[in-house]
Amino acid sequence: MIRLGLTGGIGAGKSTVAKTFVERGAYIIDADKIAREVVEPGTEGLEKLVEAFGSDILSADGSLDRPALAAKAFVDEESRKKLNAITHPLIGARTQELLEAAPEDAVVVQDIPLLVENHTAPFFHLVVIVHADEDVRLHRLTTMRGVDEADARARIAAQATEEQRRAVADVWLDNSGTPEELAAAAAEVWDRRLVPFEANVRARRAAEPDPELIALEPNPDGPSARVVNRLWAIAGERAAAVEVVDAEKVQLRIVARDGAAAEQLTDLLAVGGFAPAEPGVYRSCDPGRPATVVVETA
């Protein structure tokens, strides 16, 4: 199994990519759908929201009146934190349930609009960003979705910048063209990168690097910084340090806190996408991102 984080700015075309992946067999977890599910009528989430913000956040039929909740929950930082303290644990628990139900050979696609803003990119095997220029997104929002232009501009401005997205992106899908062109690009990513990556992780096998995929690296500074963050996410407190040895060759070092931690890292790295190649040496299972990780003991 591999977990893929899918995100992009509002109006970028993320739903087209998600649909393409699902058609090819992806196990989808939609963060927006879960956020709605955990506050449906009769749920613990809705009950807690009413307790916190009052019964006037309900519609006549007993469902959540989202504009009414927003008018109360986003008036100040304290109210926003109160909202998040109720909904985030419920969303996290439901997401974990769905992850545990995924098949062992799944390509899990987690559709998360605020993945960049929430700083969760290191916890995925791959991050796919769907991008369109701001003027293109503005046109789509105002003409296809009927969003007021000022509101559309405000929504775009409140999200991550292109630079912030590129910093975490493993795959960059440009959607300046037609939906058909975007779907074709997503299908190629699925066939050439995601399917081999998942098979390699399951087999604990290093990838055969694909030069054409490697050439599509979206970050001009290269992947080393992203890999460092992923290795910290994998190793956690077992690591005393994670260092870049050679940025150009994407060679990294984890300094394990002790021998027991180094042993535990063998399985954790394999599950995280770095197959054991020889004692203390691990290689990337991703054909689009070759990397070598050496584990030493402090």
- What's the pLDDT tens digit per position in 262-288? 999 999 999 999 999 999 999 999 999
**Residue set of the binding site for ATP:** 11-16
DSSP secondary structure, the chain, as one string = -EEEEEEE-TTS-HHHHHHHHHHTT-EEEEHHHHHHHTTSTTSHHHHHHHHHH-GGGB-TTSSB-HHHHHHHHTSSHHHHHHHHHHHHHHHHHHHHHHHHTS-TT-EEEEE-TTTTTTT-GGGSSEEEEEE--HHHHHHHHHHTS---HHHHHHHHHHS--HHHHHHH-SEEEE-SS-HHHHHHHHHHHIIIIIHHHHHHHHHT------HHHHTT---TT-SHHHHHHHHHHHHGGGEEEEEEEETTTTEEEEEESSHHHHHHHHHHHHHTTEEEEETTEEEE--TTS--EEEEEE-
Query: Which pLDDT score, from 0 to 100, does residue 22 have?
Result: 97
In order of their start, the domains of the chain are 2-200 (3.40.50.300), 214-297 (3.30.460.10)
Whether the pTM exceeds 0.75: the reply is yes
When pLDDT is cut at 50, 70 and 90, the band that residue 291 belongs to is very high
144 pLDDT above the threshold of 80: no
Q: Tell me the percentage of the chain whose pLDDT exceeds 90.
A: 80
Higher pLDDT, 268 or 146: 268
**Residue set of the binding site:** 11-16
